[in-house]
Chains A and B, each alone.
Chain A
């Protein structure tokens, strides 16, 4: 329950839409509709919901009863569109609370990945050969990079995170070979092993490496966002993935073995139960400070942006430079 000294803040990124006598406020996937008096009250005070004005001062300013404002703000807070900033900054967040917050935000941050134009190009058959094979190569490079970031993470782990990170590395380091097997249906093994990732793929891997060196928990918060794209228990999402592979087989028959390897990898991941790994970690970490929460969520958000960049690279780079596989330079190639 709010106090009169609390500083109400309409969350950044919240959108407010008005129609007739109704106000609809949305933030992430939360939404609240205010009607009549509540809608009018909100509209009057909206500009002051900046996290700098106490409830009491807002009430005085608009000649309103503080209790009436508190009732409205409490309702908005419960929906998630409004927060109360207080003088206290030492509130700890439990690992399990963090887990919920993380899932809620990651679902939104992942939306641009799921709606990336590259998927539609493959489904409609308008993607080029370089883009399609490039996609398989970049996935291979990203999965193969488990050696790097998971190795670095395990080697720099905090005591409570070490068993999780060690287990994850041991379970994942062979997965690049699943993709390599698919690529070998088209290219010689030596060439696959020595091929070069796109700068955008390298960006994703290096960001994982850097996070892994710096903070075990923040790294895994970011890694979990990536895992969420593989481990989905949502039937609709699973159906979309199947549809994507079916279309890929239809339009690009030469990718048959590649798709087999994609599916084999997803199954391997699901069998390992990675979907629960982050939950177990969150259960085992000590309560987190606001700084730690922000750090871990910023890494997750950045990871989502790097994942979009990864998709952009496949889509845009292979469109402009349709050379695949990408060989490293030698003294004569340039």
Chain B
């Protein structure tokens, strides 16, 4: 492994748009435009960086002299596409609120990644179906009910009194919100036992299992995941079009949509999106190592949301798959 490979990393790119021989790479704080040739070089560097291949191999691939590779890498650092790993990183400390401002700076990009799954475009363009909408609603029901598998755990593992208090209040306000989705599903013709006795998709269960994992690891790891989830519901403008359009396109009755709005409005009313900041006010200091772990949990949650959407689409788009899913019973199966 060369010195360059040891010292440089690629910044996360949230979207690449190709147009007229250029590639626009969207980072959390800027858009970097590269020509086709430069974009090809950039891709080669990014794929080489984490490997054990030597610098000479990269210079051959780039078709440039080995001595010029460091300059090229520095140019990519200058554009913001790469960054230098700081050796004194582990000693750096930041305040809880300092961490919150870093989080706020990336949340928008993270949410765009979470909801970049083609499912949403499909639903909004009329290529979805009432079945997909309903399946998604069933999984939302399970996801919301499963809050009872992780929210109380986060209270149990929060060691600081003020943070315990905040987590407990959040749980007390949220624990029974699955009723809203039950109401929606009843309006779509399901009976209460049909839904209550059904089983979630593996990725729906995985979301709550991951939240449980986070609660065991670090209360801030849990809280950032919770903040990402709350971030999806802070603004009516982000979710209104989806429900309105789905209702129009797929004949979803108003009675099935209004409980969802009621739930989302309640979340806004409780100001749950401010909870992470309130928690971080009680964290005077974080090592950069802890901050990285916490940040990683937040981003993993983003990836979970994408994969959750994928799982919902793959399962419910097949008409012969049972909806809702009942548990296996040896007597009848």
Tell whether A75 is near chain B: CB-to-CB under 8 Å: no
Contact A12 B333 (CB under 8 A): yes
Contact A198 B307 (CB under 8 A): yes
Contact A334 B109 (CB under 8 A): yes
A253: chain B residues within 8 A (beta carbon): none
B102: chain A residues within 8 A (beta carbon): 331, 334
Contact A330 B292 (CB under 8 A): yes
The residue in chain B whose Cβ has the minimal distance to the Cβ of A84 is: B331
B279-311 interface bits toward A, Cβ cutoff 8 Å, 1 = contact, 0 = none: 000000000100111011011100110110011
Contact A334 B28 (CB under 8 A): yes
The residue in chain B whose Cβ has the minimal distance to the Cβ of A203 is: B206
A157-198 interface bits toward B, Cβ cutoff 8 Å, 1 = contact, 0 = none: 000000000000000000000000000111110010000101
Q: How far is the CA of A301 from the CA of B201 in the complex (A)?
A: 12
A316: chain B residues within 8 A (beta carbon): 310
Tell whether B314 is near chain A: CB-to-CB under 8 Å: yes
Tell whether B213 is near chain A: CB-to-CB under 8 Å: yes
Interchain nearest-CB distance for B332 vs A (Å): 5
A334: chain B residues within 8 A (beta carbon): 11-12, 28, 102, 105-106, 109-110, 295, 299
Contact A312 B331 (CB under 8 A): no
B333: chain A residues within 8 A (beta carbon): 11-13
Of the candidates A83, A202, A301, the one having the most CB atoms from chain B within 10 angstroms of its own CB is A202
B195-212 interface bits toward A, Cβ cutoff 8 Å, 1 = contact, 0 = none: 000010111011001101
Contact A312 B296 (CB under 8 A): no
Tell whether A200 is near chain B: CB-to-CB under 8 Å: yes
Tell whether B3 is near chain A: CB-to-CB under 8 Å: no
B52 CB contact (under 8 Å) in A11, A13, A188: A188
Interchain nearest-CB distance for A197 vs B (Å): 9
Tell whether A328 is near chain B: CB-to-CB under 8 Å: yes
Chain A residues numbered 1-20 whose CB sits less than 8 Å from any CB in chain B: 9, 11-13
Interchain nearest-CB distance for A187 vs B (Å): 6
Give the total number of A-B pairs whose CB atoms are below 8 A apart: 150
Contact B299 A298 (CB under 8 A): no
B89-114 interface bits toward A, Cβ cutoff 8 Å, 1 = contact, 0 = none: 10010100000001001100110000
Interface size class of B (residues with CB under 8 A): 35 or more
Once A312-B314, A330-B295 are accepted as A-B contacts, the answer to whether A298 and B328 lie under 8 Å apart by CB is: yes
Contact B307 A196 (CB under 8 A): no
Tell whether B156 is near chain A: CB-to-CB under 8 Å: no
Tell whether A77 is near chain B: CB-to-CB under 8 Å: no
A217-228 interface bits toward B, Cβ cutoff 8 Å, 1 = contact, 0 = none: 000000000000
Interface size class of A (residues with CB under 8 A): 35 or more
A11: chain B residues within 8 A (beta carbon): 332-333
Contact B310 A312 (CB under 8 A): yes
B78: chain A residues within 8 A (beta carbon): none
A333 CB contact (under 8 Å) in B12, B94, B201, B329: B12
Q: How far is the CA of A84 from the CA of B102 in the complex (A)?
A: 62
Contact A325 B50 (CB under 8 A): yes
Contact A207 B202 (CB under 8 A): yes
Tell whether A293 is near chain B: CB-to-CB under 8 Å: yes
Contact B9 A327 (CB under 8 A): yes
Tell whether A212 is near chain B: CB-to-CB under 8 Å: no
Chain A residues numbered 125-156 whose CB sits less than 8 Å from any CB in chain B: none
Tell whether A302 is near chain B: CB-to-CB under 8 Å: yes
A83 CB contact (under 8 Å) in B12, B116, B327, B332: B332
Tell whether A51 is near chain B: CB-to-CB under 8 Å: yes
Tell whether B330 is near chain A: CB-to-CB under 8 Å: yes
A302 CB contact (under 8 Å) in B28, B110, B202, B298: B202
A187: chain B residues within 8 A (beta carbon): 50-52
B310-333 interface bits toward A, Cβ cutoff 8 Å, 1 = contact, 0 = none: 110010000000000001111111
Tell whether B83 is near chain A: CB-to-CB under 8 Å: yes
B328 CB contact (under 8 Å) in A51, A191, A206, A294: A294
Chain A residues numbered 312-328 whose CB sits less than 8 Å from any CB in chain B: 312-313, 316-317, 320, 325, 327-328
B295 CB contact (under 8 Å) in A9, A184, A329: A329
The residue in chain B whose Cβ has the minimal distance to the Cβ of A130 is: B47
Once A203-B206, A206-B209 are accepted as A-B contacts, the answer to whether A327 and B328 lie under 8 Å apart by CB is: no
A206: chain B residues within 8 A (beta carbon): 206, 209-210, 212-213
Of the candidates B86, B89, B109, B206, the one having the most CB atoms from chain A within 10 angstroms of its own CB is B206
Q: How far is the CA of A243 from the CA of B32 in the complex (A)?
A: 44
B172: chain A residues within 8 A (beta carbon): none
Tell whether B64 is near chain A: CB-to-CB under 8 Å: no
Tell whether B1 is near chain A: CB-to-CB under 8 Å: yes
Once A188-B52, A196-B296 are accepted as A-B contacts, the answer to whether A309 and B332 lie under 8 Å apart by CB is: no
Of the candidates A198, A294, A302, A331, the one having the most CB atoms from chain B within 10 angstroms of its own CB is A331
B52: chain A residues within 8 A (beta carbon): 184-188
B331 CB contact (under 8 Å) in A13, A85, A196, A330: A85
Interchain nearest-CB distance for A25 vs B (Å): 15
Contact A329 B331 (CB under 8 A): no
Interchain nearest-CB distance for A227 vs B (Å): 19
Interchain nearest-CB distance for B276 vs A (Å): 16
Contact A203 B202 (CB under 8 A): yes
A281-311 interface bits toward B, Cβ cutoff 8 Å, 1 = contact, 0 = none: 0000000001001100110011001101100
Other than the given A196-B296, A202-B210, A301-B328, 12 more pairs (CB < 8 A) read A188-B51, A199-B206, A199-B300, A206-B212, A305-B201, A317-B306, A320-B306, A327-B9, A331-B288, A332-B85, A334-B12, A334-B109
**What are 26 pairs between A and B in contact, CB < 8 Å?**
A51-B332, A85-B332, A101-B330, A187-B50, A198-B303, A199-B307, A203-B205, A206-B209, A207-B209, A209-B213, A293-B330, A294-B327, A301-B328, A312-B311, A320-B116, A325-B50, A327-B50, A328-B293, A329-B292, A329-B296, A331-B291, A331-B295, A332-B9, A332-B83, A334-B105, A334-B299
The 7 closest A-B pairs by CB, nearest first: A203-B206, A206-B209, A328-B296, A199-B304, A334-B106, A329-B296, A329-B295
